[in-house]
Structure 1
């Protein structure tokens, strides 16, 4: 699936992603500044998260819980120097918890990720819009 969107359309895009995702592990592949975190914030909002959301750049993982007690994990693996660091903080416990995991910079722990995942690739277009590809 391919979607071209502007920032004003991000909530509608988040809804489309939710409807078209078949896995609870969602990897985000994009250059820095492309809008991975902004899109994940929109996804969390549309999934019922009402608390403040931000990039877990320094904490590596943020946990969000909805009023219905659904748990979502948002990872930013950018600062990892090795897959061993991901293993050390217990990434596998999160990945196999049956909760949604949104993962920025997944290539930093690619050998630890489940084979069943959804990959979202985002590109910035010359007109400032984004082109998103979803692969389940």
Structure 2
């Protein structure tokens, strides 16, 4: 199954993240692929909004590797950009998050792909220009 969405502003990207976030349940893993500046963190801000987490508190965990946000659902926000291997994700207990009671969203998931559950939701984001974003949402193997 594959769905495509287009947004034309950061606000629309946040709204799409909120819409997708509303459809997720504990244990879901969302993998965000896209170049720097593609809109990954804005999308996560929308997911946070769906769980009544202040989106102003959401920022990319580039240096901390993971941020935990508590709302109506737990949101675990990973940034694997700086990881050299999946072993580093194991060392911070990533698998416990993936199979836990919250929702995990991962930026740069290809760096830890062998650890990810097969039912993870993959979202690729393309930024053809400064405002527009194209989102392709799919489950691997479908």
Give the TM-score, by structure 1 length.
0.88
Q: Distance in 1 between matches of 2:4 and 2:24?
A: 13
| Residue of structure 1 aligned with 2:60, choices 34, 55, 60 | 55
The 3-state SS of whatever aligns with 1:17 is helix
Using structure 2 for the length normalisation, give the TM-score: 0.85
Question: Structure 1 residue 25 and structure 2 residue 29: aligned?
Answer: yes
Q: Residues 90 and 38 (structure 1 numbering): CA distance in 2 closer, same or farther, change over 3 Å? A: same
In 2, Cα distance between the equivalents of 1:11 and 1:56? Answer: 18
Q: Does 1:130 align with 2:100?
A: no
Residue 116 of structure 1: which of 115, 119, 124 is its match? 119
Decide whether aligned partners of structure 1 residues 108 and 87 sit closer, same or farther in structure 2, where only a CA change above 3 A counts. same
Summarize deviations over 1:106-125 as a string: whole Å, max 9, x none.
01100011101111110012
Q: Distance in 1 between matches of 2:59 and 2:135?
A: 21
**Aligned residue in 1 for 2:102:** 99
Counterparts of 1:76 and 1:31, CA distance in 2: 13
1:6-45 equivalences in 2 (<5 Å): 6=8, 7-19=10-22, 24-45=28-49
Q: Which residue is 1:80 aligned to?
A: 83
Structure 1: which 5+ runs fail to align? none
Number of aligned residues = 134
Q: Which runs of 4+ in 1 moved over 6 A?
A: none
